[in-house]
């Protein structure tokens, strides 16, 4: 069946499986709708699954408005490590934690040393499809306030 066939007129109603309530016309509409949904999900799911691929083995470089620079290294096992350099400082703080996808968002949560509680999660729309891509993204932190950051996928670690 071609995609064009979906828009052709339906055959006249007739009972399906001996049930006069469900006509052939209604049955065919559900079948065609089901085909469209399955076809769309087959196209969309691989694209979503591959969207993290450019980050693996490379560096996500992020810059906050205050000048803080973050280098994050994502792993396929849903963990990350990184380095955070505050503005006007030579100090480098190590970070590590877990990441996950929440719809179209990439979320991270840093793992704090034992006894310091649980770090807030932070989520931003997943962008960037290849090394060299650079964009601005709005991150929503634990306080719910949005913060615009610059992000870039840099080759290597």
Residues 44 and 64 in one domain: no
pTM, two decimal places: 0.65
* H-assigned helices in 105-146: none
pLDDT in tens, 54-107: 999 999 999 999 899 999 999 999 999 999 999 999 999 999 999 999 999 999
pLDDT in tens, 17-45: 555 554 555 444 444 444 443 333 333 34
Domain-located, residue 71: yes
Residues 60 and 105 in one domain: yes
Q: How far is CA 86 from CA 69, 131, 141, 145, in A?
A: 7, 25, 17, 20
Domain-located, residue 69: yes
> In which domain, by residue range, is 130 found?
55-154
The domain tally of the chain equals 2
Residues 115 and 133 in one domain: yes
Residues 46 and 61 in one domain: no
Residues 67 and 128 in one domain: yes
Domain-located, residue 3: no
Domain-located, residue 41: yes
* 106 vs 126: CA distance, rounded Å: 5
Residues 88 and 41 in one domain: no
* 66 vs 62: CA distance, rounded Å: 12
pLDDT of residue 61: 96
Domain-located, residue 134: yes
Residues 25 and 81 in one domain: no
Domain-located, residue 33: yes
């Amino acid at each position: 069946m071609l995609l064009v066939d979906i828009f052709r007129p339906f055959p006249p109603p007739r009972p399906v499986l001996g049930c006069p309530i469900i006509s052939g016309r209604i049955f065919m509409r559900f079948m065609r709708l089901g085909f469209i949904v399955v076809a769309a999900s087959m196209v969309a799911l691989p694209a979503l699954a591959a969207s993290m691929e450019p980050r693996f083995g490379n560096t996500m470089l992020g810059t906050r408005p205050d000048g803080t620079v973050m280098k994050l290294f994502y792993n396929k096992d849903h963990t990350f490590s990184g380095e955070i350099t505050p503005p006007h400082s030579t100090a480098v703080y190590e970070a590590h934690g877990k990441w996950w996808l929440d719809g179209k968002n990439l979320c991270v949560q840093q793992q704090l040393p034992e006894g310091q509680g649980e770090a807030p999660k932070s989520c931003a729309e997943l962008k960037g499809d290849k090394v060299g891509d650079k964009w601005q993204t709005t991150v929503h932190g634990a306080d719910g306030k949005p913060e615009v950051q610059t992000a870039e996928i840099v080759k290597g670690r």
